[in-house]
Structure 1
Amino acid sequence: MKRGISVLLSLCVVVTAAYFTASKWAIRHETIMFKDPTRDERPVAVDVAVRFDKEMQADAGMIKLPVAILNHGNTVKFTEYSFLANVFAARGYLTISIQNDLPSDGPMVTKVGEIYVGRLPQYQRGITNIKFAIEEMKKRLPNADYSKLTMVGHSNGGDIAMYFAKQYPDEIKKVVTLDNLRVPFMTDGRFKILSFRSHDSQFKPDPGVVPDAEECEKAGITVVNTNFQHNDMRDTGPEKAKDSIQAMLDKFLADTDSDVAAVDTRNAPPKILEPGPVSLYVPVEKRQTFTDKVKKSLSLTKTETKKDPSITN
């Protein structure tokens, strides 16, 4: 029986992986550079991921896009979490990944005895970046719900996400963290929390960060204990880890977002080419079809991505 369940779970992960690989054709990614005049023109880069059809409906004033803010781990680039951004985008979210750290900021250090072991300045800077990026994105994509945010983050970025939720709970829809280590979870049940935990002796959460099972049950917190390493939870991680996280994250969104459904592009073009709530789109010139793109993708030779140095927290 246990073997049958394991096979079923494996099949679910395979199907989910195939879905997200295909669905990327319906998702637009764009990197934008903003400069904050209140901080000596500090550059704040963001990577935007959004479903084509949902963006068109939002531009037409028909819907408001839910918003997810994605925060990277220490020393990791904001563009290295596309496997997460694509899950949210496929579910209809406007996903905004923000570069919180700059080389000029200096290294992050641990100060035993201080609150959050001395990381509070990084969290406060992250909040300032998030607030600034949101105001800039309102000018570019105004038809999104910036009043209720889904905060997401890996490692130090997960701590930024949780700290933001503590400071602005009325602006939070839900929180998703991947192995945050310093900022304790909120346990008042005001919003759902999903947290993936690594099995890594080098990265252990501080005492009191992760509530016990009974408290999680009362507060609506889902803790997923994995066998993955801390640094596996980004684009350079193994496919098995990313596929598993994608599958669980998609299920969490399906259970908590009753009004937002994922697009299925495995056997059909993106929805923007179909009649429905959005007017039928007729291209003025010949464009690559979804099938052509898939064939081209399958014909490309895969190359291994070299792993970056481990991140520290």
Structure 2
Amino acid sequence: MKRGILVLLSLSVVVTAAYFTASKWAIRHETIMFKDPTRNDRPVEVDVAVRFDKEMQANAGMITLPVAILNHGNTVKFTEYSFLANVFAARGYLTVSIQHDLPSDAPMVTKVGELYVGRLPQILRGVTNIKFAVEQMRKVQPNADYDKLTVVGHSMGGDISMYFAKQYPDEIKKVVTLDNLRVPFMTDGKFKILSFRSRDTQFKPDPGVVPDPDQCEKAGITVVDTGFQHNDMRDTGPDAAKNSIQAMLDKFLTDTDSDVAPVDTRNAPATILEPGPVSLYVPVEKAKNAATMKKTEKASSASTN
């Protein structure tokens, strides 16, 4: 039976990978350079990914595109997360990946004991970049929902995403992080949060960043223990890691995107997703209790038949 389940899960990942491989040919990527006059014409480069058919419908005023903002990790290029951008674009999002740091920027200086290990200046710069890029994108594609953003980020980009959500919670629809290590999760349940975690001994989250299972359940937070390395979570990572993350992310978006009945996540239980090749972070005791209840139900059913 277990072998049959493993085969089924493997096929699920293969089908998902094939879907995104085929659909990416219907996705248009464009790189746009903006310059922020309030910061001495600082260059803010973005990569825009959008489905051709959805873009045409938006240009005709038929639909309003949901918007996803992608934020890269430290020293990683904004174009190195196309495997994530394509998931959102395939589902009809206008996806905007932002380049946050420049070669001319001062080097990051980290110090244990300081807030976010001294990375607050870089995080604040990222937040400013998001606000600026969003305002510029309103001019490029006005038929998109910039008032309710889905923010996504890996590592440092995940910290930027979470900090942005803390600063502008009313402008957030969803948050997706991949191994953010410094900025603690929001636990007030105002929006859904999905976080992929690595099992990398060199990249450990600071204490208090990832809530405990009970907090996650109360706040509607889904934490996925992937078993992959921290640096596997970008385009240069192995296909197994990218395909698994794509499959889980697509399932999360399926469960949380609803134009008919938006879900109020305040005090809602955590979303339970089909794990595919990765395991969910769930309370062990609750899992044992559920198994015990199932055994009791089966015994009771057998005695009455």
TM-score range, shorter chain: 0.7 to 0.9
2:193 matched to 1:178?
A: no
Partner SS state of residue 187, structure 1: coil
Return the letter of the residue paired with 2:177: T
Partner SS state of residue 127, structure 2: helix
| Structure 2 counterpart of 1:295 | none
Q: Deviations over 1:71-117 (max 9, x none)?
A: 00000000000000000000100000000001111222211111111
Partner SS state of residue 135, structure 1: helix
| Structure 2 counterpart of 1:60 | 60
Return the letter of the residue paired with 2:43: P
- Identify the range of structure 1 (189-198 vs 103-112) with the bigger mean alpha-carbon deviation: 103-112
Cα distance in structure 2, aligned partners of 1:187 and 1:198: 21
**Superposed displacement of residue 5, structure 1:** 1.5
Partner SS state of residue 104, structure 2: helix
2:79 matched to 1:79?
A: yes
Q: Deviations over 1:124-180 (max 9, x none)?
A: 100111111111111110000000000000000000000000000000000000000
Partner SS state of residue 95, structure 2: strand
Which of structures 1 and 2 has the larger relative contact order (alpha carbons within 8 angstroms, sep 6+)?
Answer: 1
| Structure 1 counterpart of 2:167 | 167
| Structure 1 counterpart of 2:111 | 111
Q: CA RMSD in A?
A: 0.9
**Superposed displacement of residue 258, structure 1:** 2.4
- Identify the range of structure 1 (147-156 vs 106-115) with the bigger mean alpha-carbon deviation: 106-115
Return the letter of the residue paired with 2:75: T
Partner SS state of residue 149, structure 1: strand
**Superposed displacement of residue 26, structure 1:** 1.1
Return the letter of the residue paired with 1:10: S
| Structure 2 counterpart of 1:237 | 237
| Structure 1 counterpart of 2:270 | none
Cα distance in structure 1, aligned partners of 2:243 and 2:218: 29
2:248 matched to 1:248?
A: yes
| Structure 2 counterpart of 1:100 | 100
Cα distance in structure 1, aligned partners of 2:109 and 2:145: 36
Return the letter of the residue paired with 1:44: V
Matches within 5 A, 1:279-290: none
Matches within 5 A, 1:20-169: 20-169=20-169
**Superposed displacement of residue 4, structure 1:** 1.7
| Structure 1 counterpart of 2:227 | 227
**Superposed displacement of residue 62, structure 1:** 1.1
**TM-score (normalizing by structure 2):** 0.84
Cα distance in structure 1, aligned partners of 2:250 and 2:259: 14
Cα distance in structure 2, aligned partners of 1:76 and 1:3: 38
Structure 1 runs not aligned, ≥5 long: 261-313
Return the letter of the residue paired with 1:126: G
Partner SS state of residue 131, structure 1: helix
Return the letter of the residue paired with 1:123: I
**TM-score (normalizing by structure 1):** 0.82
Cα distance in structure 2, aligned partners of 1:2 and 1:209: 34
Return the letter of the residue paired with 2:76: V
Return the letter of the residue paired with 1:65: L
| Structure 2 counterpart of 1:278 | none
Return the letter of the residue paired with 1:105: D
**Superposed displacement of residue 197, structure 1:** 0.2
Partner SS state of residue 105, structure 1: coil
Return the letter of the residue paired with 1:151: V
Return the letter of the residue paired with 1:4: G
Cα distance in structure 1, aligned partners of 2:198 and 2:94: 27
Cα distance in structure 2, aligned partners of 1:21 and 1:109: 39
What fraction of aligned residue pairs are identical, expressed as a percent? Answer: 87
Cα distance in structure 1, aligned partners of 2:192 and 2:136: 27
Structure 2 runs not aligned, ≥5 long: 261-305
Cα distance in structure 1, aligned partners of 2:151 and 2:108: 22
Return the letter of the residue paired with 2:151: M
Cα distance in structure 2, aligned partners of 1:113 and 1:173: 32
| Structure 2 counterpart of 1:258 | 258
Cα distance in structure 1, aligned partners of 2:155 and 2:108: 13
Partner SS state of residue 122, structure 1: helix
Residue correspondences, number: 260
| Structure 2 counterpart of 1:200 | 200
